Amino acid sequence: MGKSIITVDDSSTMRRMVSFTLKSAGYDVIEAEDGANALKLLKTRPVDMVISDINMPNMDGITLTKQLRTIPHYARTPIILLTTESDPGKKNEGRAAGATGWIVKPFNQEQLLAVVSKVLPS
């Protein structure tokens, strides 16, 4: 079985695009519509990587990252944050929360796969 990744985004279109790209590259993908839902799923279904939007209702991506870093299984799991913001302050906030990397939307499939293959060795 391939590596598993969860994509977390309140936009179903963005989740489908990320999911399609990753599945086409051989990854097992699950989806969540916000950080709270992702946290619930991840407690019962461990993954090898998290790709999360930052701005979401119920629980944003930075809060999700902080929460995951307190769970032993996710202490070193790669977490990539997706955002439309290029503000250095937000990047620093994400880094301080424990994010592994950052992708600014819009991005293309090659960009996504390049980041995933860089931080999630096969």
DSSP states along 82-106: EES---HHHHHHHHHHT--EEEESS
Can you give the CATH number for the domain in which 66 is found?
A: 3.40.50.2300
pLDDT the model gives residue 1: 54
Q: pTM score > 0.75 for this model?
A: yes
* Chain segment 17-46, per-residue pLDDT in tens: 999 999 999 999 999 999 999 999 998 999
Domain that holds residue 61: 4-119
- Per residue in 55-78, pLDDT (tens digit) is 999 999 999 999 999 999 999 999
* Structure confidence at residue 122 as a pLDDT band (50, 70, 90): low
pLDDT tens per residue, range 83-113: 887 778 888 899 999 999 989 888 899 999 9
Return the pLDDT at 42. 95
Inform me whether the pLDDT recorded for 11 exceeds 80: yes
- For residue 38, what are its two tokens? 């992702």
Of the candidates 12, 79, 91, 8, the residue with the CA atom closest to the CA atom of residue 50: 79
Cα torsion 5, 91, 100, 24 to 10°: value is 30
Element (H, E) at 59: none
Domain count, the chain: 1
**What are φ and ψ of residue 6, in 5° steps?**
-105, 135
pLDDT interval class at 2 (50, 70, 90): confident
